[in-house]
Amino acid sequence: MISRRNVLSGLAASTAAACSSSRVPTSAPYQYPIAPPPPDRASLGLDAVIDISRSVTVTSFREVRQSNILGVIHKATEGGDHADPACAARRPQAEAAGLLWGTYHFGTGQYSGAQQAALFLSVSRPGPKTLLALDLEANDNNPSNSMRLDQAEDFVRAVAEAMGRLPVVYVHPTWANGDPLPGSGLSFGARITPDSILARCGLWVADYHDSTEIPLAWAAKGWRLWQYAGDESASRPAYGQTSIVQGVSHCDRNLFNGDATGLDRFWIAAD
């Protein structure tokens, strides 16, 4: 959940007043936060990045920025033939509001990694300050069309050759380790190893627990971004609980492993 604590002030003044008067001061009703967080998770990183897609209604990126958000990662493409129609129009709005801009590609098994990378880059039209990411997860709507390890590695190579830098890899620890997912039993069918080009990419880990597991391939490096709450569908436990971010109907929340200065550097280098 999102870190918001209500701080009660004026206690000393209230105490002094109580000493000089028999009247008991009345306190304002306690205002419960919209999404109270576990404090141990709130202290683990900079809670300043959201990710969204066309399913999210955006009313004001300026309000997003005023909600202490520094970066937005927007879905750009999926597979080899689908572009998110909201991505291009939202980029100038987000950047004009002072937000860092990033895009991600949802990988599938239908097209080669190189073909998917070509579509992603053509739609993203990345500049030197555009964060690029590969969303490597189970295709819940069509599990047999999930991206394979070789396709993911080819995607990363193609992006690196075109841009001179690696994308971030978004993945769940269980999926990355090749183990069956709880509930569905779906599996990546392979284990990402430390010698894979994927392990050279910055890790954007998806884990909705109070502390995150690190996939084996990234054990020596750790995570760079941590998606700790997902709010894109009613089936997610955080649905309706991330509305502290104003200007959007809902969003996924991410911690950055560092401070604001480090986030700026990471956004360009992504490692």
pLDDT (tens digit, 9 = 90+) per residue, 112-164? 999 999 999 999 999 999 999 999 999 988 999 999 999 999 999 999 999 99
Backbone phi and psi for residue 117, each to the nearest 5 degrees, phi listed first:
-65, -40
Interval 206-248: pLDDT, tens: 998 888 999 999 999 999 999 988 865 555 555 455 557 899 9
Give the integer Cα–Cα distance in Å for 97 and 64. 8
For residues 64, 67, 70, 72, the Cα torsion angle rounded to the nearest 10 degrees is -30
Instruction: Tell me what the mean pLDDT of segment 44-54 comes to.
Output: 93
Q: Which of 23-32, 107-116, 171-180, 257-266 shows the lowest mean pLDDT across its residues?
A: 23-32
Q: Which of 1-5, 66-70, 100-104 shows the lowest mean pLDDT across its residues?
A: 1-5
- Check if CATH label 3.20.20.390 holds for domain 38-269: no
More confident residue, 209 or 70: 70
In the chain, what is the straight-line distance between the N-terminal and C-terminal CA atoms, in Å? 26
Give SS3 for 170: strand
Report the Cα 40 to chain-centroid distance in Å.
19
- pLDDT averaged over the chain? 85
Give the integer Cα–Cα distance in Å for 80 and 78. 6
Q: Where are the domains of the chain?
A: 38-269
- Residue 92, Cβ density class (10 Å: 0-12 exposed, 13-18 middle, ≥19 buried): exposed
- Predicted local distance difference test score (pLDDT) of residue 44: 79
Instruction: Tell me what the mean pLDDT of segment 95-99 comes to.
Output: 98
Whose CA is closest to 86, among 109, 61, 54, 64? 54
**Whole-number percent of the chain with pLDDT over 90:** 71
Contact 251, 56 (CB under 8 A): yes
Buried b (16+ CB within 10 A) or exposed e, 140-179: eeeeeebbbbebbebbbebbbeebebbbbbbbbbbbbbbe
- What is the reported pTM? 0.82
At 88, the pLDDT band (50, 70, 90 cuts) reads very high
Whose CA is closest to 138, among 179, 173, 175, 84? 175
- Predicted local distance difference test score (pLDDT) of residue 76: 98
Give the integer Cα–Cα distance in Å for 149 and 171. 12
Amino acid at 148: R
- Predicted local distance difference test score (pLDDT) of residue 21: 41
- Predicted local distance difference test score (pLDDT) of residue 206: 95
